[in-house]
């Protein structure tokens, strides 16, 4: 069994997280900004309620199938790094390195940047920019500040990061349940808002629109994988990791469907779709429209505070979980040794946490420059081969910071989710006698369905004009990991200890 190398046992992280913290990592990381903002984009792409619900159900089932499979791997190999560990055991060092590389350059840091952008999007509704500072620049500064805070908290202690995650998760789940109950309490809304149910005719364009909408919905579900990188720090991981994943995903699907139905019960479809403002105007975020309809202006203030809390806790969850992959890679000689050090006082992978926070902040800076800056003259006037790059720059310039970062994240994330889930087949063949405290329910159908749907979805992202640019950029950054692997790796595959108690 691929365990922590015996030579680096002194770098093992302490088990300080219990079952409640593990559950709150799953739920708290997933419920971030998506359910408050994504339904507007979905309604814009899919103008019929039956299709909207179908997109949320399919994306939820897909994520659930992935969670059911990943639970087996997390219980079987409870080590820091999660998918990095499974990919290394199944496919070798290079694919595992590319996962960690993608986590750092795209997925985890991009998720943090996206969540921070969502946090700042609502923050600046309550606290406007100071005189002389452009609103988009102010939004970027607020996002960077939020990243800095959660980075500091998780350097100072895993218990502190976990406690913040538990407290914040209960707070924001309570807020979401209150939002769902409001129409019933106030007796507002009506079934007439739930039409049309289906399109007049099904065709290729309808299916492609639903696949485009699924990019946003999968972002809303993204984060269910986050508990596995913490497996080395979870007590009784063989039991607590599968429970956290299965119970967490079941809870999330129920909450998301209920919240989506509540939006559409209260607001006409056209009003929800109109909240998909291409200029990213704060006041038209769908959750704010919903609360203003039910509670007036105080509702807008209340939802702003709830979304800020929700995105901040999800941001904290990413700061808590992501660095464990870089820490594990450094232990294996695939990243600089400094990233594999545990802080002598705080007992955290402090350098890895800091590096992640700095790169996430850089992504915010780049995204803000694209959104707020003016197009270079060369980009505006270009012809010939440069015309495509010019059109891509202008398209990104017209896209809100949140949406740029979202699509940038989803392609790389789902590509490696696909590889991690498919590794269950390889590991069952390579290690048939390995103890598995939990076995994937419905195997092999469960992971096969996940693989099929993921391949279709990734192909649709490359075909769809709205997501193609960010997907290609994401793919290019993944490929850059190949020369980076050659430069950064140290030595051969480390000796494996079968006797580790990790």
Question: Hey, where are the domains in the chain?
Answer: 6-488
Distance CA 435, CA 458 (A): 33
Distance CA 262, CA 421 (A): 33
Query: Using an 8 Å Cβ cutoff, are 501 and 15 in contact?
Result: no
Angle CA 465–279–458, to nearest 5: 25
Own/partner contacts of 330-333, CB < 8 Å, gap of 24 or more, are 331/4, 331/5, 331/8, 331/11, 331/80, 332/5, 332/88, 332/93, 332/494, 333/489, 333/490, 333/491, 333/494
Q: Which two tokens stand for residue 237?
A: 């991981």
Count of beta carbons in the 10 Å neighbourhood of residue 220: 28
Angle CA 417–418–422, to nearest 5: 115
Predicted confidence at residue 383, as pLDDT, reads 57
Predicted confidence at residue 355, as pLDDT, reads 95
Query: Using an 8 Å Cβ cutoff, are 169 and 161 in contact?
Result: no
Query: Using an 8 Å Cβ cutoff, are 470 and 399 in contact?
Result: no
Q: Which two tokens stand for residue 429?
A: 């063949």
DSSP code, position 227: G
DSSP code, position 275: T
Predicted confidence at residue 403, as pLDDT, reads 56
Distance CA 343, CA 14 (A): 12
- Give, for all 502 residues of the chain, the pLDDT tens digit: 445 444 444 467 888 889 999 999 999 888 877 888 889 889 988 989 999 999 999 999 988 999 999 999 999 999 888 899 999 999 999 999 999 998 888 778 888 888 888 888 778 878 888 887 877 888 889 999 999 999 999 999 988 888 999 999 999 899 999 999 999 999 998 889 998 888 888 888 888 888 888 878 887 888 888 889 988 999 999 999 999 999 999 999 999 999 999 999 999 998 898 876 544 444 457 888 899 899 988 888 888 888 888 889 989 988 999 899 999 999 888 999 999 899 989 889 999 999 999 999 998 888 777 766 665 555 555 555 555 555 555 555 555 555 555 566 677 777 888 999 999 999 999 999 889 999 999 999 999 999 998 888 788 777 776 667 767 777 787 888 899 898 888 755 554 433 333 3
Collapsed DSSP state (helix, strand, coil) of residue 299: helix
Distance of CA 31 to the CA centre of its chain: 10
DSSP code, position 188: -
Query: The tokens 């079968």 sit on which residue?
Result: 498
CATH code that applies to domain 6-488 = 1.20.1740.10
DSSP code, position 106: I
How many C-alpha atoms does 481 have within 13 Å on its Cβ side? Answer: 23
Q: Find the helix or strand (DSSP H, E) in which 460 lies.
A: helix 445-463
């Amino acid at each position: 069994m691929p365990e922590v190398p015996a030579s680096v046992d002194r770098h093992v992280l302490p088990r300080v997280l219990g079952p409640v913290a593990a559950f709150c990592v799953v739920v708290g990381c997933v419920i971030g900004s998506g359910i408050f903002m994504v339904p507007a984009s979905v309604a814009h792409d899919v103008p019929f309620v039956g299709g909207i619900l179908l997109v949320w159900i399919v994306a939820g089932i897909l994520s659930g199938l992935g969670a059911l499979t990943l639970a087996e791997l997390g219980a079987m190999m409870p080590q820091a790094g999660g998918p990095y560990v499974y990919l290394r055991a199944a496919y070798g060092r290079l694919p595992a390195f590319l996962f960690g590389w993608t986590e750092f350059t795209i997925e985890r840091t991009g998720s943090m940047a996206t969540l921070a952008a969502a946090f700042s999007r609502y923050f600046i509704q309550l606290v406007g920019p100071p005189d002389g500072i452009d609103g988009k620049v102010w939004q970027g500064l607020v996002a960077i500040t939020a990243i800095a805070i959660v980075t500091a908290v998780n350097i100072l202690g895993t218990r502190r990061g976990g406690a913040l995650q538990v407290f914040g998760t209960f707070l924001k789940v309570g807020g979401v349940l209150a939002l769902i109950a409001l129409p019933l309490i106030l007796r507002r809304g009506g079934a007439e808002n739930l039409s049309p149910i289906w399109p007049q005719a099904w065709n290729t364009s309808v299916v492609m629109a639903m696949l485009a909408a699924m990019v946003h919905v999968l972002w809303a579900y993204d984060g269910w994988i986050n508990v596995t990188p913490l497996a080395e720090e979870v007590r009784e991981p063989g039991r607590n990791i599968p429970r956290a994943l299965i119970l967490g995903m079941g809870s999330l699907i129920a909450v998301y469907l209920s919240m989506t139905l509540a939006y559409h019960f209260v607001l006409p479809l056209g009003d929800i779709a109109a909240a998909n403002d291409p200029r990213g105007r704060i006041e038209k975020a769908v959750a704010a429209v919903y609360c203003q309809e039910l509670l007036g202006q105080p509702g807008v203030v209340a939802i702003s505070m709830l979304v800020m809390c929700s995105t901040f806790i999800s941001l904290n969850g990413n700061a808590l979980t992501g660095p464990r992959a870089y820490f594990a890679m450094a232990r294996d000689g695939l990243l600089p040794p400094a990233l594999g050090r545990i802080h002598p006082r705080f007992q955290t992978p402090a350098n890895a946490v800091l590096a992640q926070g700095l790169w996430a902040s850089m992504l915010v800076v780049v995204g803000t420059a694209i959104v707020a800056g003016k197009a270079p003259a060369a980009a505006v006037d270009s012809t010939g081969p440069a015309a495509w790059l010019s059109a891509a720059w202008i398209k990104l310039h017209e896209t809100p910071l949140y949406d740029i970062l979202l699509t940038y994240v989803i392609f790389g994330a789902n590509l490696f989710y696909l590889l991690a889930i498919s590794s269950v087949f390889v590991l069952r063949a390579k290690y048939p006698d390995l103890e598995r405290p939990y076995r994937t329910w419905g195997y092999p159908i469960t992971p096969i369905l996940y693989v099929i749907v993921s391949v279709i979805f990734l192909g649709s992202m490359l075909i769809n004009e709205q997501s193609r640019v960010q997907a290609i950029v994401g793919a290019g950054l993944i490929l850059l990991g190949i020369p980076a692997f050659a430069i950064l790796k140290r030595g051969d595959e480390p000796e494996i200890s079968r006797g580790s108690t990790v």
